[in-house]
Amino acid sequence: MSRRNKLLKFTENLTFGNVYQSSNYEDGRLYGKDHQEVSLRGRWNELHFKNDKAITLELACGKGEYCLGLAARYPNRNFIGVDIKGARIWRGAKTAVEENQTNVAFLRTRIEFLDRYFGNEEVSEIWITFPDPFLNDTKSNKRLTSPHFLDIYRKVLESTGYVHLKTDSNPLYLYTKEVISEEKLNLLIDNADIYKEELIHPDLDIRTFYEKQHLKNQLKIKFVKFSLGSKV
Q: Are 26 and 111 in contact (CB under 8 A)?
A: no
Residue 130 lies in a domain: yes
Residue in 86, 155, 79 with CA at minimum distance from that of residue 122 = 155
- Alpha helices by DSSP H, listed for the chain, are 3-13, 65-73, 86-98, 147-156, 170-182, 209-216
Q: What is the CATH number of the domain that holds 117?
A: 3.40.50.150
Residue 232 lies in a domain: no
Residue 180 lies in a domain: yes
pTM as predicted:
0.94
Structural domain count of the chain: 1
Residue 80 lies in a domain: yes
Residue 204 lies in a domain: yes
pLDDT of residue 169: 95
Residue 85 lies in a domain: yes
Question: How would you class 20 by CB atoms within 10 Å of its CB: exposed for 0-12, middle for 13-18, buried for 19 or more?
Answer: buried
pLDDT of residue 2: 66
pLDDT of residue 215: 83
pLDDT of residue 232: 43
For residue 168, give its domain range. 3-227
Tens-place pLDDT, residues 156-200: 999 999 999 999 999 999 999 999 999 999 999 999 999 999 999
Q: Are 106 and 14 in contact (CB under 8 A)?
A: no
Tens-place pLDDT, residues 37-88: 999 999 999 999 999 999 999 999 999 999 999 999 999 999 999 999 988 9
- 27 catalytic residue (yes or no): no
Helix (H, G, I), strand (E, B) or coil at 57: strand
Pairing of strands 157-167, 123-129: parallel
Work out the pLDDT band at 141, boundaries 50, 70, 90: very high
Q: Which of 34, 52, 83, 132 is catalytic?
A: 132
Would the pLDDT of 149 be above 60? yes
Helix (H, G, I), strand (E, B) or coil at 144: coil
